[in-house]
Amino acid sequence: MSHARFYADDVERRKWQNPDGILAEIGLRKNMTFVDIGCGGGFFAIPAAQLVGKRGKVLAVDIDAQAIEELKAEADEKGLTNVVTRVGSAEQTVFCESCADIAFFGIVLHDFQDASKVLRNAKTMLKPNGVLVDLDWKKTAMQFGPPLSIRFSEAQATNLLEKARFEIEEKTESGPFHYLIKARSK
């Protein structure tokens, strides 16, 4: 999902969201496979590809073809050959079975037509010990971000994850505007 409508650019976004710090916090390391679901232009996918290294892999999907082109161009510019992209809906996308160490939703879970289906697809892609991460907007009024009416509260997101048979491991604040939920398959 493209987030360009919510803030000016990545430079502005980095003032309140540090992708490198978040990726380290969720445990992303060398040689892992990271699935970025609703990756947009690669705000998390590019630093993830740098972090996992040549033997690691980033699988990135977004419905926005232009965002995927931007991601591919930046990956090429930085010499990142470990990024696999796909234009398509997350409801219809499964890159692999039991291949991912981390399935990541970077401020997008509320955007999908069928969040339950997207979570089932993520579960299919995760290794048995893999981690699902939902980083999303707090459900409070702000000057920017998606409309309050479509945001998931932390309780709503937790409920969705539990219904999809994930066990919540950790809930934390992630800066002034977001929460982060880590979960594993039951």
The SS3 of residue 168 is: strand
User: Residue 111: pLDDT above 50?
Assistant: yes
Mean model confidence pLDDT for the chain: 92
pLDDT tens track for 128-157: 999 999 999 999 988 888 899 999 999 999
Output the CA angle 101-107-113, nearest 5 degrees: 95
At the fourth CATH level, the homologous superfamily of domain 10-185 is Vaccinia Virus protein VP39 (3.40.50.150)
pLDDT tens track for 30-57: 999 999 999 999 999 999 999 999 999 9
pLDDT at 9: 62
Distances (CA, A) of 92 to 3, 86, 95, 99, 171: 21, 11, 10, 17, 28
